[in-house]
Structure 1
Amino acid sequence: MIRLLQQQDLEEAANIAAFAYPGMNIQTSEKKTEFVGRLKKELEEQNGIQYFGYFNEKEQLLGMYRQHDFECNINGTFQRIFGIGMVAVHLLHKKEKIAFELLSHFHDFARQQNVSLVSLYPFNPSFYRKMGYGYGPMKYEFKIKPNALIANGEKGLVKFLSPQDEEAIVSLYNDYAQKNHGMIKRTWTERQRIKNGVTNYVGVIENEQLVGALAFTLESVQDSHFLHQHMIVHEWIWTKPDAYKQLASWLHSQQDQVDRIIFRTNDQSFVHALTNPLNDSNHLIPSVYHEVATTGTGLMYRITNIIDFIHEMNFQPLRKPDEYTRIVLEIEDTFLPKQNGLYEVIYNDNLWSATKLSNSTEKENIKIGIPDISSWWMGCVSIEALYNYGTVSINNVDTKILDDWFKPNRSPICFTSY
């Protein structure tokens, strides 16, 4: 049985999480008590967070997950999506398909709530790809010298912000999210971090309005002296180019105290804003390509309802066909079998619509797995690339036209961790 966790379940939930995620450092009784207190607070608040647990017939908790209710910019329009985190199984009950049951419950719950897109950060990407999740945007970790940033802004306009500026920071963040595909509106958890001063914030105020902000911490360089430190930039947002330039100039001025600025971003074009993008690896990729960033895959997406996703998104503001168009999709979704099969996708009168076909023998135009269509429709990969790598089959339709109709023009960006 899977149900919402109650107050009396939280201590056992902490025990399961302690073994599943040793890096959380909640093994001691004191740390577990702190963690239980955090869970209690999350259960009491109206925060879009719920915890579900898997119980056996004796009402013993054997597994759990955390469900997040987000508003995400999907190609220019905020839509409700779910995120899943803290998937954990009791150490004595591994390989009993408990994780399978938890993920199945999560997907069914999303469908019941008319949520057609879900996401997660994987402990193992291949494990979740088997469950239908497609790769999301790549993340690039730059480690640059402060003087690599172009200093053509007025750094004197940069001021320290405090927890009292929470609403201004949130308003700026949500404005940035409105302009960027993939961004999630500021969450309750992120607000708590601002309130508690977890990071330092600086910002640029123009006409009494915050137009740029940067969150950072200073970190000592491992195995070096106490004056040797890096600056970790956790968040960098702006609504106008001048605000970016002013914050970049402020970072440039930190070169007497900071060795490297570490900035993690989904935007590979950041390299073009630097006079010297090289990191500290001194690594050369043949023939002569200097390493500028390390790259990782993390965030993954999954469509849980093909028909609803098409109707909600309508693939705005992408190019539309010039006339009535009909495409037959064959979706392979073995983890969520009710999605497996043929779909008729029609464009007519400025609208895309979809219907699941039953017992049809007609030839499909596109044969694609649910991980790949999730990545494609979120703008993380083109169907042209998928076709070239042989992971999809295409019949009687041009891949470039399909990308014009269905692929967002920009890969998503996302700052939200969960």
Structure 2
Amino acid sequence: MIQLLQKQDFEQAASIVALAYPGMNIQTTEEKIKFVERLTVEQEEQNGINYFGNFNETGELLGIYRLNDFECNVNGKFQRVFGIGMVAVHLLHKKEKIAFQLLSHFHQYARQENVALVSLYPFNPSFYRKMGYGYGPMKYEYKIKPDALIANGDKGLVQFLSPNDEEAIVTLYNDYALQNHGMIKRTWTERRYIKNAATNYVGVVENDELIGALAFTLHPVKDSHFLHQHMVVHEWIWSKPNAYKQLASWLSSQQDQVDRIIFRTNDSSFLYALTNPLNDSNHLIPSLYHEVATAGVGLMYRITNIGLFVHEMNFQNLNRPDEYTRLLLEINDTFLKEQNGLYEFIYNGELWSATKVLDSNERANMKIGIHDLSSWWMGCVSLKDLCKYGEVTINNIDSNLLDGWFMPNTSPICFTSF
């Protein structure tokens, strides 16, 4: 039985998480007490966070997950999106389909709440791909020298920010999120980081308005002396290009104290804002490509209600057919079986609609898995490329046309961890 955790369940939950995620360092009694306090606060606050647990007949807790209720920019429009995190299974109950049951509950709860899109950070991407999650955007980790940034802005306008500037930072962040597909509005957890000064913030103020902000921490270089340090940039947002330039110039001026600036971004175009993008690996990729960043896959997306997703998104800001259009899509979703099958897509001159077809002898215009459909509709990969690798088959329709109708023009970016 899966249900919302109560206060009396948090001690069991802490024990499960401690063994499932030893890197969280909650092994001692004191650490477990702190973790129980954290769970209690997160569960009780009106913050979009809820913990669910899988119990057996005797009331023993077998596994848990954390549900995050977000507002996410999906191609220019904020929509309610769920994120699942902290999936943990009791060490004595592995291989008993506990995780399967937790994920099934999560998907059904999303459908019950009319949430058409969910997301997660995978411990193993292939595991969740089998559950219908598609790969999200790539993330690039740059390790650049400070003077690699173009320093043609006025760094004298950069000033330190404090927890008292929380609302200004949140306003700037949410405005930035509104302009960028994939961004999630500032969360309760992230607000707490600002209030607790978990990172250092600098910003640019123009006419009493915050137009740029950057969060960073300084870290000593491993196995080196105490004057040798890197700067990790955790967040960099701006509403005007001159704010970016001013913050870039300020970063560039740190070269006497900072060896490398470590910046992680979904934006592949950041390369073109650098005079020297090389990292510290000294690695050449044949024949002569210099390594500038390491890349990784992380955030994954899954559509949990195809018809609702089409209705809510309506593929706004994209190309439209010139006339009434009808398409048949065969969607393979073996994990969420009520979604598996044939769908009729109709454009009536104004709106798209998607309806499941119970019986048809017609040949589908496309056959696609829910994982690839989710990645495609979130702008992470084009249908043309999926067809190129044989992952999708199409019939009597041009993939370029479908990309223009259904694929966002930009790949998503996301700063939110959960």
**TM-score normalised to the size of structure 1?**
1.00
* Identical-pair percentage: 77
Partners in 1 of 2:265 and 2:401 — Cα distance?
Answer: 30
Match of 1:248 in 2: 248
Match of 1:356 in 2: 356
Aligned pair count reads: 418
Match of 2:411 in 1: 411
Quote the offset at 1:354 in angstroms.
1.1
What SS does the aligned partner of 1:319 have? coil
Match of 1:39 in 2: 39
Match of 1:87 in 2: 87
What SS does the aligned partner of 1:159 have? strand
2:320 is aligned with 1:312: no
Match of 1:201 in 2: 201
Quote the offset at 1:304 in angstroms.
0.2
What SS does the aligned partner of 1:364 have? coil
Partners in 2 of 1:50 and 1:311 — Cα distance?
Answer: 27
What SS does the aligned partner of 1:243 have? helix
2:341 is aligned with 1:341: yes
Question: 1:128-177 CA distances to partner (integer Å, 9 max, x unpaired)?
Answer: 00000000000000000000000000000000000010000000000000
Partners in 2 of 1:276 and 1:323 — Cα distance?
Answer: 49
Question: Any residues of structure 2 matched to 1:251-400 within 5 Å, and which?
Answer: 251-400=251-400
Question: 1:84-107 CA distances to partner (integer Å, 9 max, x unpaired)?
Answer: 000000000000000000000000
Quote the offset at 1:360 in angstroms.
1.5
Partners in 2 of 1:12 and 1:58 — Cα distance?
Answer: 14
Match of 2:128 in 1: 128
Report the residue type matching 1:135 in the other structure: Y
Report the residue type matching 1:110 in the other structure: A
Deviating above 2 A after TM superposition, structure 1's stretches of 4 or more consecutive aligned residues are none
Question: 1:300-354 CA distances to partner (integer Å, 9 max, x unpaired)?
Answer: 0000000000011000100000001111000000000000000000001210011
Partners in 1 of 2:360 and 2:195 — Cα distance?
Answer: 56
Report the residue type matching 2:142 in the other structure: F
2:169 is aligned with 1:180: no
Question: 1:11-47 CA distances to partner (integer Å, 9 max, x unpaired)?
Answer: 0000000000011000111111110111111111100
Partners in 1 of 2:93 and 2:50 — Cα distance?
Answer: 23
Match of 2:58 in 1: 58
Report the residue type matching 2:305 in the other structure: N
Partners in 2 of 1:139 and 1:222 — Cα distance?
Answer: 24
2:73 is aligned with 1:73: yes
Quote the offset at 1:247 in angstroms.
0.1
Partners in 1 of 2:306 and 2:44 — Cα distance?
Answer: 34
Question: 1:276-318 CA distances to partner (integer Å, 9 max, x unpaired)?
Answer: 0000000000111000000000000000000000011000100
Gaps of 5+ in 1: none
What SS does the aligned partner of 1:237 have? strand
What SS does the aligned partner of 1:83 have? strand
Gaps of 5+ in 2: none
Question: Any residues of structure 2 matched to 1:99-248 within 5 Å, and which?
Answer: 99-248=99-248
Match of 2:12 in 1: 12
What SS does the aligned partner of 2:323 have? coil
Quote the offset at 1:251 in angstroms.
0.1
Partners in 2 of 1:38 and 1:144 — Cα distance?
Answer: 36
Report the residue type matching 2:48 in the other structure: G
Partners in 1 of 2:323 and 2:283 — Cα distance?
Answer: 52
Report the residue type matching 1:145 in the other structure: K
Partners in 1 of 2:95 and 2:359 — Cα distance?
Answer: 36
**TM-score normalised to the size of structure 2?**
1.00
Match of 2:27 in 1: 27
Partners in 1 of 2:308 and 2:40 — Cα distance?
Answer: 34
Bigger drift between 177-186 and 36-45 goes to 36-45
Partners in 2 of 1:316 and 1:286 — Cα distance?
Answer: 42
Partners in 2 of 1:303 and 1:361 — Cα distance?
Answer: 26
Bigger drift between 241-250 and 348-357 goes to 348-357
